Every structure is written in C-alpha cells, then in structure tokens.
A and B are shown apart, each in its own frame.
Chain A
C-alpha cells in the first residue's frame, strides 16, 4: 500500500517541481526574482541568477522523480529541497516580510502560513516517495481510478495553498458569487452625508463664505427636505457658525442656503 502511495508521490512531487521550475526559467523570472526574498538573501545583482539556479535544481530533481530509474536518492534530494524551501520561507518571514516568495509564479504575495504548509506538504510528499519500489506508471496500472483521485486531490491541495495562484481560481470564484448575489445589495438606501458635503462644496453659497470657514464639518442634522451642515467661521474677527441648508432630494447646488450666526446669537448677513 505504502509503495503504491509512494508511486503517486513521485508523480505529484515531480510534477510540482517541474511546474515551479518553468516559472523560474521563464521570461517573467527577473521580475519575480527581484520581488522575492532572494534579493535580500543574495543581493540585488545575484537575485536573478540565483532564482534561475533554484529553477534548474527544481527541474533536475523533478525530472529525476518522474523518469526512470527509481532511486531512493531522488526522494532524499526532494526532501532536502523542501527543507531548504522551509528555511528560505522562514528567512523571508523574518528578514524580508514585505518580499514575495517567488515560489510558483511572479504574483507578489508575502510569505504567510499557507506557504509554510505547502512546503510541509511537499516535504511529506518527498519523504513518502522514498518508499517507492517501482516507477509510477506501474502504480497507475494497479489502481487507475484511485491513482487519479489521489493525484487530483493532492494537486488541488497544493494549488489551494498557493497564494500566487489565487487570481486564477479564488478571485474568479468570489467574483462569480458576488455577481450571482451581491452580499451588500440590501444596505438601506439613505442620502449619505458625503453626498451633501460634495453638493455643498460645488455651490456658490459655499464658495462665497469658504474664506471665513475655520473648521471641518461640525454637525449635521435633517430638517424636512433639508440637511443642515454647520462649520465654525470667523467673520472679520467675530467668531460665528456658518449654517448651510442643502436639499436632500436631488442635486441642486443653486438652492443651497447659508447663514452666518455669530456666537452672540444674532444673524450676521
């Protein structure tokens, strides 16, 4: 049983390593390398060559795992690579928390718990692969349905643990859910204070006294079809309150009224 399971791990782990190496050897690698914690680890100039070197090692180990002959040392190499990966993630978390992982793509995502769990899964997968006695196609022939189920499930777990790939499946899924039923569709309809302030700021009434205003919005309340907004003002050295009445129904900045009321209480024109 464990030999059969080890056979599936050869394939999954080999596949993931080859896939990861494709990003590191591809055209977008320099961008990802500069965003990754490697920049801090080996320096700006050596980040890209180091990134590509990691990609080459991943390609090599991945290819060894998926091609015959089956040697235990391949699995040990994969385990060593995963241990190195965990150490790199720990370094990134501690020393370059803003930097990305650069593990499975050029999408900038800081190192978090998911990255560690993924490296742990790959480590366990490498350890399991060490039990292999036969090349993986033999295990596929033994129980094809179970083999496909294990490979698909494990791949799904690895994808789910990869924040770099969220934009490929998680965001579209959330976008679809919001399109089907928007969670905020039932917010009560009100006239936001912000819209009254925007209307006020575009009005001639506001422009006529803006030079006298001292404060930001002091208070606001509603009176019938009006919203009243007050500001502290200073009219020729006299402390006053500027009161604006803004229509609540519709955008009619020309209808906005203003009064300057001095602290003594009389209306100042």
Chain B
C-alpha cells in the first residue's frame, strides 16, 4: 500500500468514515494510571551502565534500511530502520532524510548480532538554553553561553510555547534579551539550527 493509501486507510480506522470498525478511546480499556504503569516494560539496564538499547553518534554511511553510526567513544553501531521506525529531522519524516554527517540519537532493541533495531531515531536534534540577542525576518540570533547561534524560522513548522501554554505558530511575543529554550535541528558542522519549538516567557 502506498503512503497515501495507508493514510486514508488509517484515517478511516480511527474516524470511522466507512464500514471499518470505529474504535473509540474508551473501548481500549481502563484509563487508570495503575493500568498504564502495569504495561510499561521494565528497564533492563544496571544503574550507571550504558544503555544497550540507545545509540548516539554521527552517521558515517547509509545503506538500504540501515545506518552506520560512529559514537563519540569511536564505537561503531549498525542501526536498522523499518517502516515502523519513527524518524525525526525537524519534523517527523522518513529514513530517506538521513544524510552522512547527521548527528543521531536512536532508541530501539539491541539484536543478538550487536545491531540496533531502531524504534525511534532523532537526527540533528538539539536542546539549547539561550538568550535571544536579535530578531530578524527569517531568523533568531541566539547567545548560547557566549557562542553565537543562528536559529532559522521555518514557516509552518516553527512553534512557540509561551509560559507553558499550548504551542502556537505566533512568534511575535518573543523578545530581544530574554531567555529561551530551543528545540531544533542542527545544520551539521555549522552554528545554525532550524527551529522546531521555542519555549519562552511572554
């Protein structure tokens, strides 16, 4: 099934616009927090030990459905991606978006052969505490502990969260000189990021 057909099928499944069974949230089962807690898989990592089911590093090469990644400690990891793997690169995207040189975080399940079957992959994601030093028509200029960072505003994607209220697309409440927290996608080997979400006080 192509992606459009798949979307249409899934829309029908949840919205029930055709004969496909309508599944309301309440039909799933108990909403009690205890019921949810019971479903959580137990962490199988010793305190302080590296998590075998997590990898961070830079993409070294791309293969069909897999990425070869080098971590900061120079260890190499082979990461498998499937259609069930979520890939984030500024926004939810597909495995095709991965490029050599991208920074990567991957979470999944370590297979017996040492490779990681990824459930979720985040490319170039950064989380920065900054001061806004200037605001332009297409970018925010940010100071990150004395380093200058250019945060590009991406129309239709960049969102702002003011005072922990729901995210909005309106960026006009951002102010020069104020503190902000920024989630964005780094442009590899530059001091530039594309902004996903800016958290600020207004």
Contacts and interface: CB of A to CB of B under 8 A. Distances in A.
Contacts of B20: 267
A199 B166 CA distance: 8
A223 B7 CA distance: 10
A230 B157 CA distance: 18
B15 A232 contact: no
Interface string A231-242: 110000001010
A205 interface: yes
B115 interface: no
A6 interface: no
A204 B25 contact: yes
Interface string B149-163: 000010111110100
A194 B153 contact: no
Contact of A174 (B29, B137, B176): B176
Contact of A194 (B119, B137, B197): B197
A12 interface: no
Contact of B159 (A183, A188, A192, A256): A192
Interface string A215-228: 11111110100101
B40 interface: yes
Given A216-B88, A226-B15, A207 B170 contact: no
Interface residues of B, number: 62
A216 B15 contact: no
Contacts, number: 177
A214 B166 contact: no
B171 interface: yes
A46 interface: no
A70 to B, nearest CB: 41
Interface string A188-212: 1111111100110001110111111
B84 A195 contact: no
B120 A216 contact: yes
B86 A243 contact: no
A28 interface: no
A109 B143 CA distance: 10
Contact of A175 (B11, B40, B92, B176): B176
B14 A194 contact: no
A98 B172 CA distance: 32
A182 interface: yes
B175 interface: yes
Contacts of A230: 10
Contact of A220 (B25, B38, B92): B92
A226 B161 CA distance: 21
B127 to A, nearest CB: 14
A114 interface: no
Contacts of A245: 11, 14-15
A110 to B, nearest CB: 5
Nearest to A193: B91
A261 B13 CA distance: 8
Contact of A269 (B10, B21, B146): B21
Contacts of A193: 91-92, 157, 159
8 contacts: A191-B169, A194-B159, A204-B31, A208-B25, A211-B38, A216-B86, A223-B15, A243-B13
Given A188-B169, A232-B84, A261-B9, 16 more contacts: A171-B176, A175-B175, A178-B175, A183-B135, A195-B167, A198-B167, A205-B28, A211-B38, A215-B84, A216-B88, A218-B92, A226-B11, A228-B14, A230-B10, A251-B166, A258-B23
